[in-house]
Amino acid sequence: MYSDVLKNLEDRMRKTILAYQDELKSVRAGRANPALLDGITIDYYGTQTPLNQVSTINVAEARLLTIQPWDASTIGPIEKSIMQSNLGITPSNDGKIIRLPFPALTEDRRKELAKLVKKYGENAKVSLRNARRDSLDELKKMEKSSEISEDELRNAEQDVQDIINKYTKEVDSITKNKEDELMEI
């Protein structure tokens, strides 16, 4: 009866975790990672096109990404898009390949990024709590309309709490791993 509510809750929480992990990909950890460029689009013949659809992106070294556009005329727009993104990286090109050197992170920048990771983690937890609140409201409505009994409501509330505890621990674990990655470099 209330299993649909729990299933929807699990789905929402899984989506929150995935969104959180995607958000963390944009946090530059001092290493070259092609995922940092996922959100960058360029104006390609009048259409905003993702960078990875107009070029090949490679990790040349631990701190160097190379972008090889398929159409040489896109080098300028690609560089412009990278400069406008707030990655803090200055691209350079030789007419065929764009190079993105990633400087080593300073201690202050690492601490700043660790705070940002914590903020993203807190946002993910807020989203989890909102999903819990919505599920509990739905369960209470079901109890009020006599779809489930009071005992079933208590059991369902406990199940909801168990689910949120599981996903909160997962967010904490992901946050800790990312902070450790930032501080070890």
User: Reduced to 3 states, what is the DSSP secondary structure of residue 130?
Assistant: helix
The rounded distance, in Å, linking the Cα atoms of 54 and 49 is: 7
- CATH label of the domain that carries residue 180: 1.10.132.20
Strand partners, 163: none
Q: How confident is the model over 117-156, as pLDDT tens digits?
A: 899 999 999 999 999 999 999 988 988 888 888 888 899 8
Domain that holds residue 39: 34-101
Q: If we measure between CA atoms, which residue out of 9, 6, 12, 16 comes closest to residue 174?
A: 16
What is the reported pTM? 0.69
- CATH label of the domain that carries residue 67: 3.30.1360.40
User: Reduced to 3 states, what is the DSSP secondary structure of residue 69?
Assistant: strand
Same domain, residue pair 93 and 112 = no
Q: How confident is the model over 7-51, as pLDDT tens digits?
A: 988 999 999 999 988 888 777 666 677 777 777 888 888 888 888
